[in-house]
A and B are shown apart, each in its own frame.
Chain A
């Protein structure tokens, strides 16, 4: 079963991240690399992407004749997707364990950030005959 693990943050947390020390930043990047590598080694990795920052984000709606109407001023409290992993595991519990590992990514001073990771199942199309 496939799950998407989503790391979200507010604008404030993105702004804070931008001010981390070089050492903290490097530790975080190294952690993320090792995290992805372990997913691959374990044979559960499907995909991962990091996303552009919220200051570049636009909300788009369809206007007259389908022309795009963009909107880019968001409330500070809004949560933005920072990046995600898609994994293929044997149980939801396994997905939660991996999400907890991601949540422990080091923040300032090397202290685990304990960022909330949203875990959602990716829907498939095969039917469990349930035998």
Chain B
């Protein structure tokens, strides 16, 4: 199997069935960690056998049977004490597994799996890895490949994540009340992080990381199907669609970054934009608006401008004004400063940046320098802009971005020389 978006029908099917089968196995055996291993093994067996033997009549029943067998093997190899405890479970194995349980319970199981894998007790890196494996149905090798770490490292990360779940005694149950809403936010955050990991240049050795964005969109789609009335789930999916729609235009042939204003807009994925906008339009009349919806709305305003000059900056600024009231994320404040500069002039934007200087979260962040450089350039202070482009280049952890920032500085330097020569 490759880390591509599932392109063979079998791969697609396996990824889709993974959370369903896992739900059944966890319900039967109550041991999430072992069940997850058993389902992964069943899935690997299917990936080996199905292409040559053909699809079984009921693929989910096949996977469930194999996973049940792995579970009973696992239990038999455990201590006698453990064996006694699991007698009931073993007896169940003698019966045919109820593989076609009600659709509703399957859906609940998948959602519970999301809640477990994205539990706040886990570190973000652990939650990401576990979600991709247990709900996404990716193999450890595929996840390791996507994150450019050795497979044993990723295996260890997943097994530690499962141990944390065991240690915190998180039950395989649907959270209720206010906890449910809170846990759903945690799920969305992990999906957002997976999407962000894939938000990368699309050439060279990192090609495959782009698949993480596709995987994040696929998983968010599943959550959206399970929670169609949650506006923030729809908002996140719309945000992903509207952001990813610009993928082809974001980077040049050598992987170099192309900023929004210079992108070839004919490369934007119109179909994906239409889907994102439709999704968003369906949510907006439904009352309370959340941060993902607002981010998606901002993305939509950009996507709907035929040319950069057509961008409705007052609308974008108004959306940032709403967004900043519900989030103290300094990145949002930075983006708002750009919008303010586009509406009220660069001086206004620079004033807003000055107010952010004291934010410790931004002190060492390249984005503050990059935005300042951009606004100084708009204001005509090229010397200062060069200094800040270079400062940003020194701080970024992204190689294409460093090239981009240094190129901006070099461009302004030659403008300055030209200006001096003309004087």
Q: What residues of chain A have their CB less than 8 Å away from a CB belonging to chain B? A: 1-2, 40-47, 88, 90, 121, 123-131
Contacts and interface: CB of A to CB of B under 8 A. Distances in A.
B255 A90 contact: no
B397 A121 contact: yes
Given A1-B397, A131-B295, A131-B329, A126 B196 contact: yes
Nearest to B366: A128
A85 B284 CA distance: 49
B157 A123 contact: no
A127 B123 contact: no
B397 A123 contact: yes
Contacts of B156: 40-43
**Range, interface on chain B:** 35 or more
Given A126-B206, A129-B196, A131-B329, A46 B125 contact: no
A125 B399 contact: yes
B245 to A, nearest CB: 14
B200 A125 contact: yes
B247 to A, nearest CB: 11
A124 B196 CA distance: 13
Given A125-B201, A131-B196, 6 more contacts: A40-B156, A43-B153, A44-B153, A45-B152, A126-B200, A130-B334
Contact of A126 (B124, B126, B291, B398): B398
B399 A124 contact: yes
A121 B295 CA distance: 30
A123 B147 CA distance: 13
B171 interface: no
Contacts of B172: none
B240 to A, nearest CB: 10
Contacts of B332: 131
Contacts of B126: 43
A126 B147 contact: no
Interface string B326-369: 00010110110000000000000000000000000000000100
A131 B192 contact: yes
A88 B147 contact: yes
A64 B252 CA distance: 35
15 contacts: A40-B156, A42-B160, A43-B125, A43-B160, A45-B150, A45-B153, A90-B124, A90-B125, A121-B397, A125-B206, A125-B209, A125-B398, A126-B197, A127-B199, A131-B329
